[in-house]
Amino acid sequence: MIKEGDTVQLQDKKNTFFLVVKKGEVFGTHKGNINHDELLKKDYGQTIKTHKGHEFLILRPTLFDIILHGIKRKTQIIYPKDSSYITLKLGITDSMKVLESGVGSGALTIVMANAVKPSGKIYCYEKNEKYIQNAYENLKLAKLEKYVEIKHHDLSEELPEKDFDAAFIDVREPWLYIENIKKALKKGAPIGFLVPTTNQISLTLEALEKNDFIKTEVVELLERHYKPVPDRLRPEDRMVAHTGYLIFAVNS
């Protein structure tokens, strides 16, 4: 049964809405209003009608949907194709202590926080204070805020935590901080980076080499969607051609 505080997804053929259920509230759509109290009598997979009679399917939102459609974006986000790969590649799992910087809108943070449940933690260092509040709100929408600590901190200064099991860095000039980050990483810990340009790749690779990281790799992921029509199957006309290049290495 749906409980107060749940993030619920309302779905019809065309529309997707997200809401956090609170007793007494009303959710308005262009297809009519829904009383939260009605939602509290329902279960996921059931349908609910607006006061105009329009029917929505009630879904438990996946993190994938929350990231793409639910969170408020104050920055370019790391997309699911990349965040899922990063999380598996870095081996993020229960009980790990993970460094992320910056936090941006928290899209990658959500995926990694879900992976360190129930006893791990993501420490985010974000130098741009204005992003922090929004990132926390996005984490709350995903019910993952307790696995994350976001600090207003610049990577050029000594890191407040040590002994990280893994790290992911998404800042403009990561090569400037690799020596400093290394001091807070366990030996053998994997690290990843996202950079949009080839020049940034070259500079990051140089810094990794200089700081004795091993198993360095550069990879990009392309996601191609098809129009799901059985008898006229074809790729979409246009696609996202670039989100960023991923760099991975291991501290040695």
> Residue 61, SS3?
coil
Q: Site map for a second copy, 173-212, x if CB under 8 A?
A: -------------xxxxx-----xxxx-xxx-xx--x---
Query: In this structure, what are the phi and psi dihedrals at residue 56, rounded to the nearest 5 degrees?
Result: -120, 145
Among residues 215, 217, 224, 225, the alpha carbon closest in space to that of 251 is found at 215
Cβ-based nearer residue to a second copy, 16 or 128:
16
Cα(84)–Cα(64) distance, integer angstroms: 9
- Stretch 99-138 residues interacting with a second copy (CB under 8 A): 111, 114-115, 117-118
- Stretch 40-79 residues interacting with a second copy (CB under 8 A): 44-46, 57-65
Stretch that binds a second copy, among 22-30, 97-105, 151-159, 232-240 (CB under 8 A): 232-240
- Stretch 139-178 residues interacting with a second copy (CB under 8 A): none
Stretch that binds a second copy, among 18-26, 121-129, 147-155, 222-230 (CB under 8 A): 222-230
Stretch that binds a second copy, among 99-107, 128-136, 149-157, 218-226 (CB under 8 A): 218-226
Among residues 45, 43, 50, 36, the alpha carbon closest in space to that of 4 is found at 36
Amino acid at 148: V
Q: How far is the CB of 229 from a second copy (least distance, A)?
A: 7
Phi-psi region of 97 (alpha: psi -120 to 50; beta: other; left: phi over 0): beta
Q: How far is the CB of 191 from a second copy (least distance, A)?
A: 12
Burial 158-181 (b: 16+ CB within 10 A, else e): ebeeeebbbbbbbbeebbebbeeb
- Stretch 8-47 residues interacting with a second copy (CB under 8 A): 11, 13, 44-46
Cα(132)–Cα(34) distance, integer angstroms: 32
Choose which of 89, 127, 140, 151 interacts with a second copy (CB under 8 A): 89
* Whether 87 contacts 115, CB under 8 Å: yes
Q: How far is the CB of 148 from a second copy (least distance, A)?
A: 16
Cα(22)–Cα(4) distance, integer angstroms: 5
Choose which of 39, 50, 84, 168 interacts with a second copy (CB under 8 A): 84
Cα(189)–Cα(166) distance, integer angstroms: 5
Cβ-based nearer residue to a second copy, 11 or 29:
11
Q: How far is the CB of 133 from a second copy (least distance, A)?
A: 25
